[in-house]
Structure 1
Amino acid sequence: MDRAQAADGTPGRREVLVVGAYFADLVFRGLARPVRPGTEVFAEALDLVPGGAFTPAMTMHRLGHDVVWATDFGTDLFSGQVLAAARAEGLDETGFRHHPGPLRSVTVALSSPGDRAMVSYQDATAAQPLAGLLREHRPRMLILPQLQYGPDVLGALRTARQLGTEVFMDCQDMPGTLDTPYVREVLAAVDVFAPNECEALRLTGAGTVDEALHLLSGLVRTVVVKRGGDGACAVRDGKRYDLDAVPVEVVDTTGAGDCFNAGFLHAHLAGGELPDCLAAAVACGAAATSGPGSGHAPDAAGLREWLARLPHR
């Protein structure tokens, strides 16, 4: 999709800006037993699929949205693999930076039907300044695929507010708690925060999801907690909604959380109420688990089919 033009001929604002690193996901499936130090375990299947911030950018694009993804690629095999996938999906390359040397971002996922364990590696590179990206693209929605905090992040989120940009933030098992400097202030500047259950408990120090929701909803207007096979729950303006998971034969959960996020935002950008956004999120996340990695993220027609499989609401 071409960039919109304002009435004066200058570039118009983008609908969605995704800011985050690519990852190449090596997904090992069908492990005969848990992996323990000093042992070797053979998998039944191996998939190399693009992941990281590629997944929400690609899924939002498949769902019909105008997306710019700000990320970095190098000359290495993994950069090449994900860049080729992004081009095959037709993603806008406006936000891509290309570096003259390797820039490896790799995750090894040991996948079981219920969950997965991951080991990741990432070559260091200087991040693109978030405030500058916001001013350049002036998005309607900013997607941050992981918890970020600090004075620069807080300043950028204030810029987002000035531009009328809504901010969606995931957690992604990043370190930090509500007692870490700037975490509370950053969350208070976010419009939607969507950790999974374990992340919500760790971040808040709460003993239950109910308690974690209570603490987080005191900071963020909309809090969504992903609960895997138990569905999801959300609170907005003090009102809570819960939704069961879609029955599905799970192949792999890698990337399902990012697809969940995209489903939520797809409905949100269309003006959906919170229950509708939660339904689209659960359906999109379930679709992703029906295949390895990000490959089974649905398009708009596929999402409608998965929505029809939701439990009674």
Structure 2
Amino acid sequence: MEKNKYHTLLIMPSSPGKKIIRLSLPSFYWKMICVAAGLILLWAGVGTWSLFYHVKITKRCCLLEKEKQTAKSQLEEERQRLTYLDGQIKKIRKQAVFIQKFLGMEPHVPGKGKIGQGGEEVSPKVSSLPPDLQSSVHPTPLNLACKEISGFPSPKEIDSVSLNLNQIIETLQIKQKKLEYIPSVSPVDPQKSWISSPFGIRISPFTGKKQLHLGIDIAAWKGTPIMAPAKGKVVSVKKRGLMGLTVTIRHDSIYTTLYGHLLKSNVKKGQVIKRGDVIGYIGNSGRSTGYHLHYSVKKNGKHVNPFPYMVDWDNNHALFVSSAK
């Protein structure tokens, strides 16, 4: 049996005079020492790398956690915003329906009911289609796709509200043009005047007998401005006997208004006027007991009570007229 070979390790001191250290071991031990040192270095490297990776992962986790909290906060804000918008859209929808009913319009409602299906049906047993060929239409997923998100209006509902509002705007624009030609305000400022004689049967201040009064007498101070109650065209400016100086305005093919007992006129025949334009001033011309305006309204050629066309008069004036009848 051969003897083990020895290897000697000499450690030379850096300072002279010191003893040299000799370490003599069998080659087998040196191999074990080298393997152990390699394993230690490997363990140290792996540990260092693991520590570095752990620190990196920890930082990444912290960053992701912050991003998660930020996203959660933004999601909550978005949810609150959508809830607010949902409430506003529902409110607008109710207002739109109310206005449409008021205007006599039919509200637009999104289509409801089942999705259209039809056609001739054949029993699967007598069908010529292969048994493994299935229909490409699946009702269940389609129905699920048509379901609305709970608590928030669907795009169809939002489009419906938008369409209703557009229809309302178009209708109001049309009605606005028509309303411009309909007498709707008092020709004299209600705060500076009062109704001295209503429309209809009254006791004549001149004869003391019952008489049909075809207008309303609005008393005011001499020279008080008289304003056009609607858009129109002056068709007459002249004296009419007992009615004194008068102005007649044709507003459209339906309405005509007359203003009597004027002090003086502020318009000419053929002049186009708009609501609020001064057409004359309160006077006492013709047969009159005092300064006032005789105001009459004709609808389709017939005299009607002007008071419903004076919407700017308050209840006190209405009560006064009622008591005067």
Return the TM-score normalized by structure 2: 0.20
Return the TM-score normalized by structure 1: 0.20
Between structure 1 and structure 2, the one with the greater Rg is 2
Query: Which of the two has greater helix per residue?
Result: 2
